[in-house]
A and B are shown apart, each in its own frame.
Chain A
Amino acid sequence: MSVIEEDDRETARFPGQRPPRASVGSHRIEEEVFGKAYDPRTVRRIWAFVKPYRRKIYLSVAAVLVFTATQLAIPLIIGRAIDSGMTEGGNHTNLLWAVGMFAVVLLVNYGASFVQETQVGKVAENVLFDMRRAMFAQLQRVSLSFMDKTEVGRLMSRLQGDVSSMQEFLETSVISVGDMVLLVGIIVVLLTLDFRLGLLTLSTMPVLFIVRIFWLPRAKRAFWAAHETNSITAGAMAEGINGVRTVQNLDRQKVNFDLYDDKAYANLQTQLTGSRYAQVMVPIVDSLTGMAMAIVIVVGGSLVLNGSLEIGVIVAFIFYIQRFFDPIRSLTMQYSIMQRAMTSGRRITEVLDVPASITDKPDAITLTRDMDGSVEFRNVDFGYSADRPVLKNVSFVVKPGETVALVGPTGSGKTSAMSLVHRFYEVQSGAVLVGGHDVRDVTQESLGEQVAMVLQEPFLFTGSVFDNIRYNKVSATLDDVIAACKAVGAHDFIMRLPGGYDSVLEQRGSNLSLGQRQLLSFARALVADAKILVLDEATANIDSYTERQIQKALVTLLQGRTGMVIAHRLATIRGADRIIVLQNGELIESGNHDELMARDGLYAKLYNMNYASFDDIPDELVAQANARAANT
């Protein structure tokens, strides 16, 4: 739901010209915000998170009730103090009693408010963190197919925004119990003190309710619009900062400034509207308060004059009236908070309910270092969806210590085959065996320890170089890490960084070149010291110096390990013990370089085209080579 219409003023903003093909910033329209205020299923799920803290919740609800009672009592005590202690010549004893009562109530009030606020605040924080932990833990388990199609930003907004609105809801809901009780309490007390006067005074209350009913939906829309334009403006600003080099490069400052001005100006307008909506309630509430007081003075005053009402009651009434409208105000607000919380709750449960499709069997065995390090594909069929097969009846064996290069045009299924060794996905039929065991029969954790993986895009974490290379192998010492870095040739450039191994990598290593990041990810795999290495060679062009270093590092990395390499560089391919050629998900050729050349199939055709890398070969040429290979 978007209240903001795309700015049609942009047309007019560039006088005498047709509208530019330009915009600044982008804005994701937020998902449904005002849904149902109560959804039993969601509430049940949320309750599961609150349940561990239910004693504390009960305690704080009790404290809220006590606190509210003391608030109700204070005007009463003042009224009593006046009536029994001060009128008709006064009574010191009664006054002292009343003051004594006041002191007791005051202490109870202090204790209750302390308990209530501490408990509610902490429980709400705990629940927030618990929910986030549960979601995060679930995301560690869910299948990669889910992660593949879900945007990180979307998940992050659930891990942050949605849990915060749940927290807000929890905090306010206990308080609104208090508000409810206070409202009822005030009504009861007023009617008990004097029924007629109470009824008359309370007659102002429904007016506020009615006004709020009309005001709320409009105000909510205005507040929402203000919120939206604000984030639109913020987004445009962030884009201006992130893309500043390109902006200057292409000399877009003027156009951008004008477009930004439009957004900022639209934001100014919605903020002012929002502000108007918020403030318009002030005189209404004040007038109603004045009205109620006027009633008390005129009606109550004449009752006192006839002697049918005591003056203390009037004073008590005045005190109650001042508190009167607060609960109505916060209760109506609570409704929106509940709506938001239900939507958030539903989104949170959606994440929690994503099935973890790949799980360990109950009797899964632990893969140990003693296994032989072989990899076998046995009649493997695989696809991300049932109707689109990616691998078709693929069978091959990689012997212990052997290095096999997987080659083939884009889309031939190389990357998928590699993912299966690590059981990122489940095969549809057939089996993948590691060390002679079906990957489905071993624990995922032990499989991960024995199969190291180097991805095409090196991914580094924020943190020191040392932490990145050691990663989850916490037993590795600095010496181990240094040894690994020396082995892959990363040591020298690491030592040139200002802090050496303690240098912190900014923003996932953006202060390093791609080649350097690649070398670090090699070192990480080396430290992991697995028996099998699965590696997806980078396709991006790296400068020749680093490239050479990477080639050398590869040799080191594969020493004494079984290797499966998705190879793009001819040098890597030629260096492999065996080459497996995949095409359209089928294994079409297998053998070493000389054998395949002798065979004169697709591999030989592609090789003879003399490109530095198979990926450089244009699609048409691949198709031609295919056709020729098919003819032979």
Chain B
Amino acid sequence: MTTDKAGRVHSRGDAQAHVAAAHAGKGQSPLLRITLYSLRHPWRAAAAIGATIIASVLQLMIPRLLGHAVDQAQGILSVGAEGAEQALFWSAMTLLAVSVARGVFTLCQNYFSESVGHHVGYELRLAFYDKVQRLPYAYHDKVHTGDLITMGLLDLDGVRMFFSTGLVRVVLLSVLIGVGAYMLLSTDVVLGLLALSFVPFVAWRSSVAQLTLRATWIVLQDKLSALTRVMEENLGGIRVVRAFSAQNFELAKFEAASEAALELSHERVGIRVRNTSIMTFSFFAAMGLVLWIGGTKVIAGEMSVGTLASFLTFMTILQMPVRQLGMMVNSFARASICGNRLFSFIDEPISIADKPGVPDLKVSKGILRFEDVRFTYPGATHPTLDGVSFEAHPGQTIGIVGAPGSGKSTLAHLIPRFYDVSGGRITIDGQDVSEVSLQSLRRSVAVVQQDSFLFTTTIENNIAYGDPWSKETKIERAAESAQLHNYIKGLPLGYDTVVGERGVSLSGGQRQRLAIARSLVLKPAVMVFDDSTAAIDAGTEHRIRSAIRRYAKDRVTLVISHRLSSLLHADMILFLEDGRIVESGSHEELLAKGGRYRALYDLQTRPDEDIHFGSAAQ
């Protein structure tokens, strides 16, 4: 629990409550759901809407007061110069008071409606982030990260801003146009109709313009991201570009992408200008008509100059909000589309979650068992694992080999339930992994991935990623075992060096070593190296292996590798082919067997002797 600068209390419980609230309202239409969600801030919302109504009414009083004052100045409404000046003074004071009040209420209107939006944004961000973290691998496999990021930024904005740019504006325009029209029409029907004549036209043009601009905006974003891609890939692959002397080719590619975007940008300028010009025109045309017909009425004595002036000022007041009507329409369209996407994401069922009331995994010995495990990826027809059974005891190292696509990594991913088995079961000390809590399971199983993700933060934070409260000595020991400590010590900032996208860039081997260190900090019962030494040279790998052996005494170690030398010391090697274990045994046994393992071994130790390049001109 903490207090912010304003002294309000912000607690962790609130954050969880926001996440829970975002899940309410499943099945509602997006606009209704956003509205109800926004109304979770009843006081702010009520203040915003109340202030909007008051501010609009105050604003509508201004033309009246002005008209009145104009008439007073002509001495129409009062008797004698004294009385007239008195009246003018009071009109002026009223006008001043109304202006000040209007300003204050407009402030409240804008601030509170934005504030609702910011709160909704904050809460939805939490719900979104929470969902991202909960959805299993299978979901992230099928959805692009870029699409998710767009959803979390742009769709969320569309939803967040609906209250202020949509709902509040409906209130504003209803009061302004409704009450305004009533006031005008009750004063003079003909002139009132003329004064309002621009409203439907401008509303229509403005809506069409906004919707067209939005549609083209989406296309423009695509074109611009194509352009970005061309530039980024060119700069990232500059050596390839230079190697093929493809600068002109690249420039042409850039030019094409650039032209496409520019053309559309010009088109959009056209759409915008055509509409704004015609809107201004229709507004002034209506004003001209009011001046003409109103003027005639004044001459005929049917109307005072003040009333005419109030009609004219009323029009100028109405102009802006009516022009922005298109933005309101757009806000509805956007919120509906964005809300639909965002809420279906938030409502996405989580296929891998704790069953209700499951106990934590209790590791006593640490025996890992695969019992006839079968697995098929969602959407695939062919099983990736087909009846895999084996048992591993603490202290044992199990090596797994096989051709790409034989199911090696999948096997590793099933243990911590990144995916759920399609058949059979996996147990640790007799407990089915799907019958224990995910948190306890994942803390007991560490998988070092081949392509591990490093976070843009210090080396220390990266190593401590799985256990942010681990002691410094523990972190350093892990780094030592991963043969990374000396390198880190050699960096000017040591363990405080920031790595990743915006820091020191590490080589593939260093990244893998960092990932290994990251897992060594934990004390898992099962440790899996999923081809995680591919970029590390054999010598270093050997040293890592001997260092790890100290850790490995009381745990099961699974090593997936292409490099057979990495598996020489495994207690048992499983040879996978098409999701089945086709050979198993120790290195020596498998060699003696003379089967597939033997063939692979020969391939690696005695590469084709007949390789010879070129037709040498010796």
Contact = CB atoms under 8 A, between A and B. Distances in A.
A36 interface: no
Contacts of A339: none
A26 interface: yes
Interface in A105-160: 106, 109-110, 113-114, 117-118, 121-122, 125-126, 129, 132-133, 136-137, 139-141, 144, 147, 152-153, 155-156, 159-160
B189 interface: no
28 contacts: A78-B291, A82-B298, A114-B277, A136-B251, A152-B235, A234-B153, A244-B133, A245-B137, A251-B439, A253-B133, A257-B133, A264-B122, A268-B118, A271-B121, A272-B115, A293-B99, A295-B92, A298-B89, A301-B91, A305-B75, A319-B312, A453-B239, A461-B233, A544-B603, A552-B611, A616-B538, A617-B539, A621-B539
Given A81-B295, A291-B96, A616-B539, A109 B70 contact: no
Nearest to A22: B468
A286 B299 contact: no
A322 interface: yes
Contacts of A285: 103
Contacts of B469: 17-18, 20-21
B149 interface: yes
Interface residues of chain A: helix, strand, loop or mixed (majority): helix
A404 to B, nearest CB: 9
A632 interface: no
A362 interface: no
Interface residues of A, number: 182
Contacts of B563: 541
A449 interface: yes
Interface centre among B97, B132, B607 (most CB of A within 10 A): B607
Contacts of A528: 244
A459 interface: yes
A90 B241 contact: no
Given A233-B125, A241-B152, A297-B92, A250 B535 contact: no
A607 to B, nearest CB: 14
Nearest to A510: B451
B416 to A, nearest CB: 7
Interface stretch (A37-45, A185-193, A213-221, A570-578): A570-578
A399 B292 contact: no
A216 B545 CA distance: 62
Given A243-B455, A246-B453, A448-B243, A576 B277 contact: no
Contact of B501 (A26, A98, A272, A305): A26
B73 A147 contact: no
Contacts of B296: 92, 95
Given A250-B466, A422-B242, A528-B244, A268 B126 contact: no
B585 to A, nearest CB: 19
Given A244-B132, A311-B73, A318 B149 contact: no
Given A302-B85, A304-B73, A294 B95 contact: yes
Interface in B511-550: 518-519, 522, 533-535, 537-540
A264 B73 contact: no
A361 interface: no
Nearest to B148: A241
Nearest 8 A/B pairs, CB to CB: A448-B245, A290-B99, A286-B103, A90-B299, A283-B103, A20-B468, A453-B243, A26-B456
A551 B607 contact: yes
Contacts of B299: 85-86, 89-92, 95
A249 B277 contact: no
Interface in A523-541: 524, 528, 539-541
Contacts of A136: 231, 234, 251, 254
A401 B614 contact: yes
A568 to B, nearest CB: 10
B74 A311 contact: yes
A169 interface: no
A82 B66 contact: no
A311 B48 CA distance: 39
